[in-house]
Amino acid sequence: MLLCGLALLVLSPRSASAGPLDLYGAGEEDTAQGGAQTAGASGPWALHYNPGALTESHVGFHVGMMAAINNLDILLTPRPGGYEVPDLGGDSSARPTSVGAPPQDVQGLPPTYAVSFGGVTDFGLERLRLGAIVWLPTQSAVTMDTHYSDERERYSTNKLHFELLDKRLRRLDIQLGGAWTATDWLSIGVGGLIVPDATLTNDVTLRDAANQEDAEINLHADSGAGLGWTLGGLFELGDHWRIGASWRSDVALELTGENRIQVLGTEDAQGNPQVLVQQLSFVPSYTPARGALGVNWRNAAFDVNVDAVYMRWSDYRDTHGARAGFHDTFNLRVGGKWRAHDRHTLMAGLGFEPTPVPDQVGRTNYVDNSRGVVSLGATHRVAIADTPLTVGWFARAHILAARTTRKQVPDDPAACTTDTTALCDEVPDDTADGRTGQPYPEAQGLQTGNPGFPGYTSGGWIGVVGFSVRKERREEPEEVNP
């Protein structure tokens, strides 16, 4: 544990996970510099941090690949006796604890692989830059995965889930934008963030309600796009200093619609079919609004970047669209670049992000940890078949500070309803035997199958490695450290 604590102390800085690019990085420059790019970005990935900085980019294109190992764990605390959900037959709809598999630990998550593309053009105008970036996970372009944060999850996976990591971030990310050099000291830019969304309407007809595997189903699906926007500006303060500022709106990957279910033979007294409507409203991935202020200092050999990032997590909606009660956060990122040689540049970065998730002592189990980031990378200018290229590599590690959650049992646990926030009773104390009218002794006190009861510990690390190749039209040779 001492070593663990030491490791966390050393690695305490880290980055944000609002969207996939915040966690995994975009290009080699930003990933290797810990995401501190509001004032120091260049290349198409500036769209993600500050579109105003796009004016610093050379015309060209980028191609990259990355892989992430998600070595993340959630270990459940052993359950004390006496809190099991009893089998009361038809007198209680709660599933008995004895039915089904018990809650399981999470030990490691599948890796993430992605390819990325980016490009910048100027249409022949010196002051104009237009850019586009695409980040595409290779396992699935868009993963729509939802889970409940409370005892309802026991009817599905019966596991806890990292709320702000994992599948939420496995989605296509497309950003477009442009920037204009307004004056010698000011560039402004605007960008758009596109994430897919979908509307589903399913008509389900059951001929035999007892055989629900045999259903006539029609699917009506419309896919669309959720849109966000980014504004940014870059201020030149002399030869060495720049200040960048940006604001990005929130954007959500949403799935809405309804299931319309008919059971033949259940028409009303007038023969009208009775259609049961189940509303669908999911938010598999919500990215909060964020504001960033960055400072860049540079000379011929070095770049130093410092970013302060505000994340409006208080607007966060979980995968079922419920307000999660998170706190807004401020993150700090520091990055640097050393032009060590006319062909080689070394980069490193640090960051820290406090978790927006408050202690989960009540009903919900939003699992998240404060994280530190350390990153490294380099670029190397090479020529292949007389074509000058810049090849880059990067590595980033997120270290999650281990976090232990301990549930608090209310003195008089309330029944589980949509409004209950404290740890709730799945079998209320007044649950009575319908035939005797007598309350069940097994129903007294707290009965819960909440997979996060009585607590859990989460932590681990994420390791990201990747490389990129870019071809740029450079009018001047890159400055070289003498």
Q: Which of residues 324-363 bind other proteins (CB under 8 A)?
A: 340-341, 344, 346, 348
Provide the minimum distance between the beta carbon of 4 and other proteins in the complex, in angstroms, as a whole number. 4
Provide the minimum distance between the beta carbon of 244 and other proteins in the complex, in angstroms, as a whole number. 27
Provide the minimum distance between the beta carbon of 258 and other proteins in the complex, in angstroms, as a whole number. 13
Q: Quick one: 143 or 481, whose CB is closer to other proteins?
A: 481
Provide the minimum distance between the beta carbon of 348 and other proteins in the complex, in angstroms, as a whole number. 7
Provide the minimum distance between the beta carbon of 264 and other proteins in the complex, in angstroms, as a whole number. 10
The full 3-state SS of 286-330, as one line of letters, equals EECCEEEEEEEEECCCEEEEEEEEEECHHHCECCCCCECCCCCEE
**C-beta of residue 463 within 8 angstroms of C-beta of residue 69:** yes
Stretch that binds other proteins, among 121-129, 190-198, 259-267, 286-294 (CB under 8 A): 259-267
Q: Quick one: 8 or 186, whose CB is closer to other proteins?
A: 8
Q: Quick one: 83 or 282, whose CB is closer to other proteins?
A: 83
Q: How far is Cα 105 from Cα 330, in angstroms, rounded to an integer? A: 31
**C-beta of residue 80 within 8 angstroms of C-beta of residue 446:** no
Q: Quick one: 53 or 446, whose CB is closer to other proteins?
A: 446
Provide the minimum distance between the beta carbon of 187 and other proteins in the complex, in angstroms, as a whole number. 31
Q: Is 409 in the site for other proteins (CB under 8 A)?
A: yes
Backbone angles phi, psi at 450, to 5 degrees: -50, 120
Stretch that binds other proteins, among 42-50, 181-189, 274-282, 297-305 (CB under 8 A): 274-282
Provide the minimum distance between the beta carbon of 470 and other proteins in the complex, in angstroms, as a whole number. 19
Q: How far is Cα 309 from Cα 354, in angstroms, rounded to an integer? A: 11
CB atoms within 10 A of CB 457: 17
Q: Quick one: 81 or 477, whose CB is closer to other proteins?
A: 81
Report the residue from 269, 300, 383, 385 that binds other proteins according to the rule CB under 8 A.
Answer: 269
Q: Quick one: 160 or 179, whose CB is closer to other proteins?
A: 160
Instruction: Decide the pairing of beta strands 344-353 and 371-384.
Output: antiparallel
Q: How far is Cα 402 from Cα 386, in angstroms, rounded to an integer? A: 50
Q: Report which secondary-structure segment, H or E, holds 47.
A: helix 46-49
Q: Quick one: 210 or 300, whose CB is closer to other proteins?
A: 210
User: Which residue pairs from 180-184 have beta carbons closer than 8 angstroms and sit at least 24 positions apart in sequence?
Assistant: 180/55, 180/127, 180/128, 180/129, 181/55, 181/126, 181/127, 181/128, 182/127, 184/236
DSSP calls for 167-192: GGG-B-EEEEEEEEE-SSSEEEEEEE
Provide the minimum distance between the beta carbon of 209 and other proteins in the complex, in angstroms, as a whole number. 4
Provide the minimum distance between the beta carbon of 153 and other proteins in the complex, in angstroms, as a whole number. 19
Q: Is 35 in the site for other proteins (CB under 8 A)?
A: no
* Strands in 83-214 per DSSP E: 106-121, 128-137, 173-181, 186-206
By CB under 8 A, the residues from 205 to 234 that bind other proteins are 208-211
Close Cβ partners of 308 (under 8 Å, ≥ 6 residues apart)? 292, 293, 294, 330, 331, 332
Q: How far is Cα 380 from Cα 399, in angstroms, rounded to an integer? A: 28
Q: Quick one: 387 or 436, whose CB is closer to other proteins?
A: 436
Residue with tokens 């699906």: 221
Strand partners, 302: 338
* Two structure tokens written together for 182: 């307004």
Q: Is 134 in the site for other proteins (CB under 8 A)?
A: no
Backbone angles phi, psi at 6, to 5 degrees: -65, -45
Number of amino acids touching other proteins (CB under 8 A)? 75
Q: Quick one: 89 or 477, whose CB is closer to other proteins?
A: 89
Stretch that binds other proteins, among 160-168, 223-231, 249-257, 268-276 (CB under 8 A): 268-276
CB atoms within 10 A of CB 374: 20
By CB under 8 A, the residues from 48 to 107 that bind other proteins are 71, 73, 75-83, 89-90, 93
Q: Quick one: 148 or 286, whose CB is closer to other proteins?
A: 148
Provide the minimum distance between the beta carbon of 89 and other proteins in the complex, in angstroms, as a whole number. 7
Show the binding pattern over residues 368-407: x = contacts other proteins (CB under 8 A), - = does not. Answer: ------x-x-x----------------x-x-xx-x-x-xx
By CB under 8 A, the residues from 176 to 195 that bind other proteins are none
Q: Quick one: 280 or 348, whose CB is closer to other proteins?
A: 348
By CB under 8 A, the residues from 420 to 479 that bind other proteins are 433-442, 444-446, 454-461, 463
